[in-house]
Amino acid sequence: MSLSPAFLDELRARTSLSTLIGRSVKVQKAGREYKACCPFHNEKTPSFTINDEKGFYHCFGCGAHGDAIRWMTDQRGLPFMEAVKELAQAAGMDVPAPDPRAAKRAEQAKGLHDVMAAAQSFFEDQLGGIDGAEARDYLGRRGISDATRRAFGFGYSPDSRGRLKTALKDLGEPMLIEAGLLIDPDGERDSYDRFRGRLMLPIRDIRGRVIAFGGRILGAGEPKYLNSPDTPLFDKGRTLYNIDRASPASRQTGRVIVVEGYMDVIALAQAGFGEAVAPLGTALTEHQIERLWKMADVPLLCFDGDAAGQKAAIRAATRALPLLRPGMSLAFATLPAGQDPDDLIRAEGPGAMEAVLGAAEPLVERLWKFEQSAAPLDTPEQRAALKQRLSAITEAIAHPDVRAHYVHAFRERYDALFFARPAYTPRHQRMTGARSGWQRDRRGNWKPPLPPAGNEARAIGASGMEQRLLRAILASLLRHPEQIALHREMLSGLRIGDPLLAELLAAMIAASFGKETVETGALLTILGQGEVYNMAKGMLRADTFTFTPHRMKADAGRVQRDLDEAIRVMAQGPELEAALAEATRRASDDLNEETFAEQQRVRQLKLDHDRRLAELAQSEDIV
């Protein structure tokens, strides 16, 4: 069976080599590459290097070298076709069926590269000729230098239905049609040139080979930009414009910039930003995002500040959510309204562009701002709708650790927006009367001094009782991990002062997002060795706490009810302190029967809460 070079190249491109090798060997990141101890010979110091971008591994010790297919045959011992089939299944590709004509098609695919190279030469010649005068004038008006023009391979397609077809007739009309250079209307009428009267830009693959073209119209007409159709060489959803030049540039700068179109990329490159790429007339796809992550952990998406540009940014953000993993994200830089990169650089210079990139927002912040501004937030129902939209975002994130952190980040922002209380500032009043500190209300009656407000931002665990109850809750969750998901939302909102307890809770919440219910032993394995692990092991000792749910034989219904109350009481502490601070502030600013009564009411609620907290933390029975 013969497999085409195009199929094998696509298979290698879709395979993350570090992930593949990481299933058998422990790998660690080292700059833009990964390192490991070589699996082909015994060594203690890693000399085995994996380069995802170039798609190969190499051992400087024994000389082992190869790609994903070679790994499967040499390390796994699979026959070539079995290796290809296994990789193709993982990449979601179908292995071509045996076909005696496969070799002929592979040869034709090779020929398409020759066709595209010939077309590129034709377009470049036309730009330098008489017919290219208008295109040269346009480049001059745009400030495109001769060096930039040569580097990007600008060309011109004459405004004729058959100039290219005639110039490349020796290559054969079928090949020109298959390459997307000619349009074949219906098989009966003559084919004709696809690109006519346009400034031409070659689109290259990662190896620098021309695989397609983009053409910009010079006069009136639509579409403004015209791309080659999908061909055996070109899939616009998997290709990024300027990938061949931006890839090495990104290794020097440690970043990659994504802009909206060809001319944005070219303007940035001319200004010294060689690491810029652009999608090809479509929204950023999952394949393109994965390609970007091979160049930089956090690509910078720089779109226009108008509605269309921001809509494109949110589409990209939403599409990235299921793909997020630790360390891999997106950041968003917004250009001033009405300006593209070329406008900004011309008006204010490269420094202004650098400032825009330096102010890029993380993905989590961009999503929060978008949803916060998407609809009014004046009523409880509208605020609840915001919470639902944020929940839909977090549910789209596949990686459990990343999802847990997004849940926490959105919860913090939501609470700060709707539940934050202004800081208490005492109002100094002139005091008179029989007792220092007493105040007179509007009716002339004396009222006792107001108790001081609590620290509204205090983290949970500051008091001994809270610390005891918190540890009892965590011990219960360790023994009954199926309860974590049931209480996850309220647990995510707890602000815990002790960093070890906070880390333990975060690990349990992250584990609860898995498809299967995590067990106690698996939780301990996730924690690994260290202080948090030792603390968790100590919590599991039967005589450590008196809180009921820690008992191994407690029935599930009782455990859930006990935890419901314990977690609720734990969460209410900071909320009641904040409410007491606000009620105290209002009464201090304007003492009257209403404000005094409200302050006393909240104070009593706080006393009742503290009493229940003490009961839960000290008694053998939670109810």
Task: Please state which of the ranges 12-16, 162-166, 248-252, 255-259 shows the lowest mean pLDDT.
Answer: 248-252
**Residue 105 binned pLDDT confidence (cut-offs 50, 70, 90):** low
Q: Select the more confidently predicted residue: 85 or 550.
A: 85
Residue 157, sorted as left (phi over 0), alpha (psi -120 to 50) or beta, turns out to be beta
Point out which residues pair with 182 in neighbouring strands.
193
Point out which residues pair with 35 in neighbouring strands.
28, 49
- Using the predicted structure, report yes or no on whether residue 83 has a pLDDT greater than 80: yes
Point out which residues pair with 157 in neighbouring strands.
198
- Nearest Cα neighbor of 402 from 549, 497, 506, 318 is 506
**Residue 96 binned pLDDT confidence (cut-offs 50, 70, 90):** confident
Q: Is 119:213 a contact under the CB 8 Å cutoff?
A: yes
- Using the predicted structure, report yes or no on whether residue 409 has a pLDDT greater than 50: yes
Q: Select the more confidently predicted residue: 166 or 433.
A: 166
Provide the pLDDT for residue 462: 56
- Using the predicted structure, report yes or no on whether residue 104 has a pLDDT greater than 90: no
Half-sphere exposure of 427 (CA within 13 A, CB side): 11
Residue pLDDT, tens place only, 199-246: 999 999 887 889 999 999 998 788 889 999 999 899 999 999 999 899
422-460 as b/e: b if 16+ CB within 10 A: eebeeeeeeeeeeeeeebebeeeeebeebeebbebebeb
Q: Select the more confidently predicted residue: 151 or 490.
A: 151
**Residue 496 binned pLDDT confidence (cut-offs 50, 70, 90):** confident
Spell out the domains of the chain, with CATH numbers in brackets: 5-91 (3.90.580.10), 105-366 (3.40.1360.10), 464-618 (1.10.860)
Residue pLDDT, tens place only, 258-310: 999 899 999 999 999 999 999 998 889 999 999 899 889 999 999 887 788 88
Percent over 90 (pLDDT), the chain: 35
Provide the pLDDT for residue 202: 97
Provide the pLDDT for residue 41: 78
Please give the backbone phi and psi of residue 522, each rounded to the nearest 5 degrees, phi first.
-65, -35
Provide the pLDDT for residue 439: 52
Q: Select the more confidently predicted residue: 177 or 559.
A: 177
Q: Is 608 exposed, middle or buried (0-12, 13-18, 19+ CB in 10 A)?
A: exposed
Residue pLDDT, tens place only, 523-543: 777 777 677 777 877 777 654
Whole-number Å distance between alpha carbons of 332 and 340: 15
Report, as an integer, the average pLDDT of 602-607.
84
- Using the predicted structure, report yes or no on whether residue 475 has a pLDDT greater than 60: yes
**Residue 515 binned pLDDT confidence (cut-offs 50, 70, 90):** low
Q: What is the pTM of this model?
A: 0.60
Pairing between strand 192-193 and 182-183? Answer: antiparallel
